[in-house]
C-alpha cells in the first residue's frame, strides 16, 4: 500500500495512524511552498493517542481521530502570529486562542499536520504567492500548473497525499476552485454554519470556513466536526432528481475541454435517470455588477496596514483591495439591499429543482509561468475562475465541486449548488452524482 494517502477516510480504518503521520510529516517536510508551518510533534501525539484508543477498544471521538488534517494559514493557532500568506503580519502579536474551528479539530482528535500556504490575504482565485512561493499542482507532472486559490496549499496537501482533508476558506470560490483544478471534492457550506472567529477576514459577509477532501463523505465527516451542528445527510437515488443547468452567464467562455467534459457528465447523469433541465436563471446576469460590497469590507480591514506597509503587499493584491475604498457608505447599503432582493428572486426560481449544476470553473488549471509573466492573463484568469463559484457565495448558498473528468486527463469540476441552509440536501445530491460519475 502506498505510504501516502490516496483513499477516503472510510478505507483507512485498519491503518496505523502513527505510520500515516510519519509518512505525511516526511513528505510535507520535503515539499516546497505547500506549508507555512508544520506541527510534527502535535500531529505525532494525536496519532499515538488514536492508536492507543483503538488498541484498547475505546471508541475514538470522531472519524478524524489521528488522521492528518491541514489548516489554512488564516486560522489562529494560540501562541503564533497568523500570517494569512503575507509578510505584512509576520511581526503581529501572537494569537491568544485557537480559532473555534481549530479547537473543534483538536477535540475530535485530528492530527493537525500544518498550516498551508495561500494567496496573500485570500485575495485571488489562482493561488499565486510571491512571498512564500506557489504550490505546484500535482496533477500534471510535465507542466507546472497553478493549484487554484486562495486555498492553494490546502488543496495540494490533499492532492499530494499528505492529508485526508484540509480546512480552507471560501469567499468567492476559494475552496471549490482549487478542488476543481486539483481533482478533489470541495464543499462550501452555508456561511453561518461554521464560526469565523479567529480567522483573518476577507469579507465578513461572505467568508466561509469549509473543507476539501477526496470524497463527499469525507467532506461530511469534516463538516460534522467544524460546524455548529452536524448534518444528517440522506442517501438519495440519482434517478428522478431534477437538476437545473443555468443558461445565463455560467456556460459562457468555457474552454473546449471543459465544455466537452461537462457535457459528457450531463449525458451520464441523464442516462442514469436524472432529469437535466436547461433553465434561464436570468438574475445571474446581474450578480457580477452587484457583488462589490465585499471589496469595501476588505478595504475597511486593510486600510491601516496599507497606509503603513503597502510596499510589502503583493501589488496584484493591494491594487484589488484598494478598489474597495471607492465605495461609499450609501453605495454599500444599497448593494446589501439589492443582494437581499436578488437572493429572494433566485430562491424562488430554485424551488422546483433539487439542485443547480454547472461547471465549477470554465478553464483548466493554467500554466504558472504564463500568469507570473502577465498581469493581463492573471486578471483575466482570476475573473473567469471566480465567476461561477462566487454566484453561490452571493446567494448565501451552499455548493459542492466534484471531479467529472476522465482518469488521466486534466481535472474539471462540476458544481452542485443550492440555497442557504440546504446543505444536507446538496450534499446528498452531490453524493448521488459522485457515485454515478465514479461508476
**Residues catalogued as catalytic:** 72, 150, 174
The residue behind cell 454547472 is 358
CA 225 to chain centre: 16
- Tell me the C-alpha distance between 268 and 251, whole Å: 19
How far, in Å, CA of 73 to CA of 118, rounded?
7
* Three-state helix/strand/coil letters over the chain: CCCCCCCCHHHHCCCCHHHHHHHHHHHHHCCCCCEEEECHHHHHHHHHHHHHHHHCCCCCCCCCCCCEEEEECCECCCCCCCCCCCCCCCCCCCCCCCCHHHHHHHHCCCEEEEEECCCHHHCCCCCCCCCCCCCCCCCCCCCCECCCCCCHHHHHHHHCCCCCEEEEECCCCCCHHHHHHHCCEEEECCHHHCCCCCECCCCCCCCCEEEEECCHHHHHHHHHHHCCCCCCCCCCCCCCCEEEEECCCCCCCCCHHHHHHHHHHHHHHHHCCCEEEEECCCCHHHHHHHCCHHHHHHHHHHHHHHHHHHHHCCHHHHHHHHHHHHCCHHHHHHHHHHHHHHHHHHHHHHCCCCEEEEECCCCCCCEHHHHHHCHHHHHHHHHHHHHHHHHHHHCCCEEEEEECCCCCCCCCEEEEEECCCCHHHHHHHHHHHHHHHHC
Amino acid at each position: 500500500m502506498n505510504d501516502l494517502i490516496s483513499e477516503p477516510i472510510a478505507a483507512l480504518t485498519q491503518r496505523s495512524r502513527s505510520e500515516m503521520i510519519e509518512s505525511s510529516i516526511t513528505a510535507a517536510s520535503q515539499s516546497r511552498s505547500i506549508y507555512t508551518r508544520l506541527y510534527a510533534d502535535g500531529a505525532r501525539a494525536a496519532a499515538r493517542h488514536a492508536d492507543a484508543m483503538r488498541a484498547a477498544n475505546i471508541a475514538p471521538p470522531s472519524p478524524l481521530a489521528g488522521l492528518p488534517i491541514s489548516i489554512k494559514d488564516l486560522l489562529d493557532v494560540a501562541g503564533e502570529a497568523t500570517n494569512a500568506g503575507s509578510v505584512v503580519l509576520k511581526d503581529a502579536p501572537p494569537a491568544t486562542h485557537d480559532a473555534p474551528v481549530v479547537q473543534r479539530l483538536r477535540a475530535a482528535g485530528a492530527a493537525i499536520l500544518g498550516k498551508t500556504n495561500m494567496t496573500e490575504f485570500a485575495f485571488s482565485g489562482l493561488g499565486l504567492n510571491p512571498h512564500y512561493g506557489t504550490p505546484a499542482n500535482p496533477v500534471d507532472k510535465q507542466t507546472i500548473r497553478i493549484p487554484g486559490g486562495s486555498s492553494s496549499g490546502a488543496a495540494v496537501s490533499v492532492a499530494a497525499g499528505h492529508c485526508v482533508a484540509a480546512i480552507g476558506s471560501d469567499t468567492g470560490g476559494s475552496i471549490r476552485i482549487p478542488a476543481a483544478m486539483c481533482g478533489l471534492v470541495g464543499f462550501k457550506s452555508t456561511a453561518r454554519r461554521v464560526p469565523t472567529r479567529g480567522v483573518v477576514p476577507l469579507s465578513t459577509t461572505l467568508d466561509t470556513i469549509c473543507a476539501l477532501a477526496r470524497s463527499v463523505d469525507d467532506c461530511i465527516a469534516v463538516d460534522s466536526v467544524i460546524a455548529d451542528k452536524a448534518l444528517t445527510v440522506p442517501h438519495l437515488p440519482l434517478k428522478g432528481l431534477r437538476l437545473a443547468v443555468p443558461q445565463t452567464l455560467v456556460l459562457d467562455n468555457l474552454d473546449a475541454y471543459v465544455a466537452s467534459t461537462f457535457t459528457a457528465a450531463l449525458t451520464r447523469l441523464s442516462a442514469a435517470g436524472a432529469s437535466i433541465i436547461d433553465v434561464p436563471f436570468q438574475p445571474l446576469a446581474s450578480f457580477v455588477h452587484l457583488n462589490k460590497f465585499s471589496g469595501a469590507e476588505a478595504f475597511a480591514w486593510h486600510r491601516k496596514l496599507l497606509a503603513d506597509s503597502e510596499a510589502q503587499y503583493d501589488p496584484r493584491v493591494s491594487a484589488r483591495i484598494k478598489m474597495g475604498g471607492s465605495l461609499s457608505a450609501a453605495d454599500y447599503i444599497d448593494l446589501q439591499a439589492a443582494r437581499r432582493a436578488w437572493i429572494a428572486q433566485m430562491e424562488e426560481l430554485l424551488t422546483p429543482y433539487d439542485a443547480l449544476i454547472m461547471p465549477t470553473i470554465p478553464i483548466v488549471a493554467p500554466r504558472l509561468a504564463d500568469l507570473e509573466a502577465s498581469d493581463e492573463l492573471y486578471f483575466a484568469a482570476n475573473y473567469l475562475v471566480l465567476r461561477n463559484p462566487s454566484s453561490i457565495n452571493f446567494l448565501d448558498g451552499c455548493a459542492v465541486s466534484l471531479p467529472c473528468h476522465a482518469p488521466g486527463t486534466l481535472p474539471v469540476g462540476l458544481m452542485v449548488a443550492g440555497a442557504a441552509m440546504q446543505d444536507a440536501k446538496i450534499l446528498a445530491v452531490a453524493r448521488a452524482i459522485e457515485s454515478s460519475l465514479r461508476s
